[in-house]
Each structure stands twice: as C-alpha cells, then as structure tokens.
Amino acid sequence: MQAERQGWASRLGGPWLARLAALIVLLVAWEAFARLLARPILPPATEVIAALTREVGQDLAGHAAASLFRVLASIGLAVVTAAPAGLALGQSRRLNRLLAPFIYLLYPVPKVVLVPILLLLLGVGDLPKIVIVTLILFFQILVLVRDAAAAIRPELLLSVRSLGAGRRALFRFVYLPASTPAVLTAVRQSIGTAIAVLYVAELFATRHGLGYYIYLQGSTLFNYPAMYAGVIAMSLLGVGLYGAVDAAERRLIGDTNTSS
C-alpha cells in the first residue's frame, strides 16, 4: 500500500510541479509586461488576482456556477445521445452509409453561427446555451464512438456470443469498454471549443454566466481587473473540466483494463 501511494505521488508530482512552475512563469511575465506597458487595458497580474479574490465573494461565484451548470448539462446530454447513436452507426454498415453524408455535411459547420437561430427558436434562458454546447460535443462523440465501434473485430463478437452472451453482456463487456475511451477523448478535445462557444452564447439574452460577466465588466463598467478576473475564472473552468475528464479517463480505462 505504501509503495502504491509513493508510485502515485511520483507520477502526479512531476507534472503538477511542472505546471505550477509554468503558471508562475506566466504570471511573472504578465506582471512585467503590464508594468512596462502601463495601460489600463492590461492591469498587472497582482491587481487581477486581488480583484479575483474580491469578486469571488460577490458576483463572480454565481456567474461561474451558472456557466458550470450549463457545461455539465451539455456534457451529460451529449453523452447520453451521441454515444448510443455512435454505437448504432458503428455496428450497422447500412445505417452508417445512410447517415454518413449528413454527418459529413453537418460536422464541419461552426456551431457558434447557430446561436442567434437557437435564441429565436428556444427563447432566453439556459436551454439555447445548453443546446449549442451540446451540438459541439455531440458530433465529436458521435464520430469517435462510431469509429471505435466499427473497429471491434467480428471474431471478438462471435466469441462472446458463443459463450451465451446476450445484448446486455455484449454492451457491458464489449461495446462499453470499446466506446468509453472514445467518449472521454471526444469530451476532452471539445472542452476548449465548448467553453469558447459558451462565452459567445452568454453574451446574448442573459444576465448570468461568465460570458455576460466578462462583457459587463470590460465593455460597460470598464473595470478591467474584474474583467480579467472573469477571464481567469472561465479559464479555470476549462482547466478544471479538462482535468476532471483526464482523471476519469485514467480511472475508468484503468478499471476497464483491470477487469479485462
């Protein structure tokens, strides 16, 4: 047990120390450049960090919670819709041939252009913002899960069926282990884009969310330290989600490998 703990510490200590060192270098460079530029549009890092600690106790925490809810709801909705669809496409060549042209045309479309349309169709509130982020994640998950399911060797399916496995056993022991890495990879790759689109979506018809907060502080109140505090909060949201998905991938893939 002690050796296992030391192993985890050695694996995690190196990357985290490197990331901490990189963060310190970036903050020092930011501070030096801001002092050299000496313009209100770029306050020093020390002022921004002070504004961040101050604003968290006021409005910033509520705006961050609203954005976090929208992203988590989008991830959940995208996974429960795209993963089964990807499995179906990956195991049915006929269905894939039928729908592949539509996926080919819709996948590259920048989803951010749909924000005004969704606002007109779905109205104000959380729903259009959740839908637009879900669309981004949906196609990423759909394509990767489809490819992972299509790559399953037919002899593997036959061998599992020969042991008397039904649909539930096939899903648990074949399809789920094959699709889980694809789902997590798609979510991780899409987080940055999803956060960027969420920022754009929160500029319209809302008074809650980090996108609204950043725009309000920077373009209306001209409170640049608070604006950058919102930018840092949105960055931390993306980094936190990325780290959470990365940790889930290590845990789930490790469990899958152990069980297999």
Angle at alpha carbon of residue 133, lines to 129 and 139, rounded to 5°: 145
Q: What is the pTM of this model?
A: 0.83
- Structure confidence at residue 226 (pLDDT): 96
* Mean pLDDT calculated for residue range 49-59: 94
Q: What confidence tens digit (pLDDT) does each residue in 249-258 have?
A: 888 776 544 4
Indicate if the pLDDT at residue 260 is higher than 70.
no
Q: How confident is the model at residue 5 (pLDDT cuts 50, 70, 90)?
A: low
- Could you give phi then psi for residue 154, rounded to 5 degrees? -60, -35
Task: List Cα–Cα distances, 69 to 74, 129, 159, 210, 233, in angstroms.
Answer: 8, 11, 43, 12, 14
Indicate if the pLDDT at residue 259 is higher than 80.
no
Distance between CA atoms of 255 and 239, rounded to whole angstroms? 24
Q: What confidence tens digit (pLDDT) does each residue in 216-230 have?
A: 999 999 999 999 999
Indicate if the pLDDT at residue 185 is higher than 70.
yes
201 class by beta-carbon count within 10 Å (0-12 exposed, 13-18 middle, 19+ buried): buried
Task: List Cα–Cα distances, 163 to 125, 150, 166, 179, in angstroms.
Answer: 51, 22, 9, 22
Mean pLDDT for the chain overall: 86
